[in-house]
Amino acid sequence: MDIKKFQYPKPSFCTKTNRKLLAEAEKRGFYNGDTEYNKLFNNLFFNGGELKFKPDLDKKFKQAALPYLKSFMASFEPKHEEKEAISALLLSELVVV
């Protein structure tokens, strides 16, 4: 799945776990993973922080994925493991650690 071409819902509608993104996150090892992006998610979630975006990042992808990521991280409905996995997936495409 090319998550850069994924049609992200508007931030107000992304409170539920998207099964396609979750499947891709599982495939890439982010579900119950111990990657740098899982660690980054947990640090952002519990402590806040700043992101350093990839220098060659596609602007349209960033404009679509970043609002979705912020809204999804703040939503109450998804299980934490699902939120972590999908967020780590997106972070891996957006930022450098």
Phi-psi region for residue 88, left (φ > 0), alpha (ψ -120 to 50) or beta?
alpha
Burial class for 57, CB neighbours closer than 10 Å (0-12, 13-18, 19+) = middle
Q: Which domain holds residue 37?
A: 15-94
Instruction: Tell me the whole-structure pTM to 2 decimals.
Output: 0.93
- Residue 37 CA, distance from chain mean position: 9
Token code pair at residue 14: 């992304």
pLDDT under 50: residue ranges of the chain: none
Q: How many domains does the chain have?
A: 1
Is 1 inside any structural domain?
A: no
To which residue do tokens 């990657």 refer?
Answer: 35
Q: Quick check: is 73 in a domain?
A: yes
* Residue at 10 is within a domain: no
pLDDT at 13: 62
**In-domain check, residue 9:** no
Q: Is residue 20 part of a domain?
A: yes
Residue 76, in any domain of the structure:
yes
In a domain, 55, yes or no: yes
57 assigned to some structural domain: yes
